[in-house]
Amino acid sequence: MIKAAIMGYGTIGSGVMEVLEINQNSIAKRVGEGIEVKYVLDLRDFPGEPIQEKIVHDYKAIVEDEEVKIVVETMGGVEPAYTFVKAMLEAGKHVTTSNKALVAAKGAELIALAKEKNVNFMFEASVGGGIPIIRPLNSCLTADEIEEITGIVNGTTNYMMTKMTEEGSEFDDVLKDAQAKGYAEKDPTADIEGYDACRKIAILTSLVCGQQVDFEDIHTEGITKITATDIKYAKAMGRAIKLLASSKKTDGGYVAMVAPYLLPKTHPLYSVNDVFNAIFVHGNVLGDAMFYGSGAGKLPTASAVVADIVEMAKHIDMNIPVEWSSKKLELVDYKKSVNKFFVRVSSEDKAAVEKVFGNVSYVAAEGVTGELGFVTETMTEAEFESKAAELGNVVQTIRVA
Ligand code: HSE
Q: What is the pLDDT of residues 338-351, one digit of tens each?
A: 999 999 999 999 99
Q: How far is CA 59 from CA 50, 121, 147, 343, 376, in A?
A: 20, 18, 41, 53, 56
pLDDT digits (tens, 9 = 90+) for 265-303: 999 999 999 999 999 999 999 999 999 999 989 999 999
- Judge whether 216 and 195 are in contact, CB under 8 Å: no
Sign (positive or negative) of CA dihedral 247, 252, 253, 256: negative
Mean pLDDT for all residues in the chain: 97
**Averaged pLDDT, 355-368:** 97
- 156 C-alpha to ligand 1 centroid (Å): 6
Q: Is 71 helix (H, G, I), strand (E, B) or coil?
A: strand
Mean pLDDT across 46-72: 98
Distance of CA 369 to the CA centre of its chain: 37
Task: Name the pTM for this structure.
Answer: 0.97
CA of 30 to the centre of ligand 1 (A): 29
The residue contributing the CA closest to ligand 1 atom 7 is 296
Collapse the DSSP code of 202 into the 3-class scheme (helix H, G, I; strand E, B; otherwise coil) and give the result: helix
What is the predicted pLDDT for the residue at 326?
Answer: 96
pLDDT value of position 67: 98
Place 83 in a pLDDT band, splitting at 50, 70 and 90: very high
Read off the pLDDT of each residue in 322-326 and give the average, rounded to a whole number: 96
Q: How far is the CA of 303 from the centre of ligand 1 (A)?
A: 15
Give the Cα separation of 286 and 220 in Å (integer). Answer: 29
CA distance linking residue 181 with residue 184, whole number of Å: 8
257 — pLDDT class (breaks 50, 70, 90): very high
The CB of 178 under 6 Å from ligand 1? The reply is no
| Confidence tier at 365 by pLDDT (50, 70, 90) | very high
CA 153 to chain centre: 4
Considering all CA atoms of the chain, what is the largest pairwise distance in Å, rounded to the nearest integer?
A: 76
**Measured distance CA(327)–CA(78) in Å, rounded:** 20
3-state secondary structure of 130: coil
Determine whether the shortest distance from the Cβ of 194 to ligand 1 is under 6 A: no
How much is the pLDDT for 356? 98
Active site residues: 200
Tell me what pLDDT residue 135 has. 97
Q: How far apart are CA 92 and CA 64, in angstroms?
A: 11
Residue 295 Cβ contacting ligand 1 at under 6 Å? yes
Amino acid code (one letter) for 54:
K
User: What's the pLDDT at 173?
Assistant: 97
The answer to whether 400 and 342 have CB atoms below 8 angstroms apart is: yes
pLDDT at 215: 98
The strand pairing partners of 278, in sequence order, are 152, 292
Label residue 92 by pLDDT band (50, 70, 90).
Answer: very high
